[in-house]
Amino acid sequence: MAAGERSTRDAFGQALLELADIDEELVVVDGDVGSSTRVSRFAGRFPDRFFSVGMAEQDMILTAAGLALCGLNVYVSSFASFLVGRGYEQIRSAVAIPSLPVKIVGSHCGVTVGEDGASHQMLEDLALMRVFPNMTVLVPADYASALSLVKKSSEMASPVYIRLGRAPSPDIYGDGDDGFVPGGGRVLREGADVTVCCCGIMVFEALRAADILARQNISAEVIDCYSVSPLPAQQILESVHRTGCCVAAEEHFARGGLGEAVASLVSGAYPVPVKQVAVFDRFGQSGSPAELQEYYGLTASQIVSAAVQVWTMRRR
């Protein structure tokens, strides 16, 4: 595991600069939050390719759709709670239905937004976006994977949603690791007793949980499901065939996110016990990221508890 902590939103800003140097058709649409979404450096270097439409998320989506229809490679970014929340009908009608290759980047997701509270802590975006046909949904776990996935998304000819966080997250992958593809996953630790599917900040927690479980003689296989839609189905099914049980961990509502996607997959192909570590039936609140992560049970200890439960019920 690499050392240090960096934010996935910082990786987004860096990826845009690198992409813009080789793709003259790349443009960015933002809504007066460029310093927060990390697109301000892009705006400074490429002012003719940057469009700030103000705090008008519905207009942002429609502008992005229009630019895509003109053949441009479009990224549209803002806080997910507003971009996805306010712009949902426009995303559906102007991007998803015509399947335009607009890259929608929602930052400041999950309770680790911190002190801004429930209004800014988007916990339902994966549920909203993964239901769309032909919409790729990506949730990088750290800086390196975010950098790679943003770059890979520029090559896609269909809509993409990329979920980013506000707070720095521990480095998991080394710089230059480019082995991330939409629809893919990464087995970070092999194991024979329980499968742990995770995404975003919960990948680091899952690796910590695997260390604790190993001391209890339970071997956990950890899969970074950075592609929530489409899922890395083959990797997940191969794993649960070996382990006979599964835990899904995410910084999202339990309804509609990675956990339900994994449960749906395995119930139809190879039914095994599945437990979720997620936010259950409540909104966020103000607090520090660390306090909120602990309060909502988005920790290694909760993954350990869930793993022990499914291990006792596993398919033998």
pLDDT averaged per 10 residues in sequence order, the chain, 316 residues: 81 97 96 89 96 93 98 97 96 98 96 94 97 97 98 97 96 95 96 98 98 98 98 98 98 98 98 98 95 97 98 91
Say whether 57 is catalytic.
yes
The reply to whether 5-170 and 186-313 are identical in fold is yes
pLDDT at residue 94 in the model:
98
CATH of domain 5-170: 3.40.50.970
Q: Give me the catalytic one of 18, 24, 25, 57.
A: 57
Q: How far does Cα 88 stand from its chain's mean position?
A: 18
Cβ neighbours for 143, distance < 8 A, ≥ 6 positions apart: 6, 7, 8, 10, 11, 169, 171
Query: What's residue 149's pLDDT?
Result: 98
pLDDT at site 316: 79
Q: Where are the alpha helices (DSSP H) in 40-124?
A: 40-45, 57-69, 80-86, 88-90
Question: C-alpha dihedral over 21, 26, 30, 34, to 10 degrees?
Answer: -10
HSE-CB of 210 using CA atoms within 13 angstroms: 26
The pLDDT value given to residue 2? 45
What single-letter amino acid sits at 128?
L
Supply the pLDDT for residue 3.
59
Q: Does domain 186-313 have CATH number 3.40.50.920?
A: yes
- pTM for this one? 0.96
The domains of the chain are located at 5-170, 186-313
Q: Given this model, what pLDDT does residue 177 score?
A: 95
Reduced to 3 states (helix: H, G, I; strand: E, B; else coil), residue 298 is coil
Residues 6 or more apart from 32 whose CB is under 8 A from it? 52, 54, 55
